[in-house]
Amino acid sequence: MSNVRQIPNDYFRRWFCDKNFDLVAWYRPDGEIHGFQLSYDRTGEEKALTYVEDRGIAHHLIKDWVSRE
């Protein structure tokens, strides 16, 4: 997806999506992946699997999604 919001002083991010999944990847300045978040089951009880290299893995139920612009 183009026009992904970039946050100053944070890792560069890319967003990939289709009707079932959202995948956000964060990249270090050297181009290597710092982490990612995969959101799935968007039509049911949406969940997110997140991996960040300095924190490890987490799995969450998404209760409320503000915007999908």
Task: Work out whether strand 56-61 and strand 47-52 pair parallel, antiparallel, or are unpaired.
Answer: antiparallel
Query: Residue 16 belongs to what H/E stretch?
Result: strand 12-17
27-52 per-position pLDDT tens digit: 999 999 999 999 998 778 889 999 99
DSSP state of 54: T
Give the separation between CA 62 and CA 30, rounded to whole angstroms. 31
What is the arithmetic mean of pLDDT over 7-15?
Answer: 95
Q: For residue 68, is pLDDT > 60?
A: no
Q: Cα–Cα distance between 40 and 47 in angstroms, integer?
A: 6
Quote the pTM value: 0.79
The better pLDDT of the pair 3, 50 is held by 50
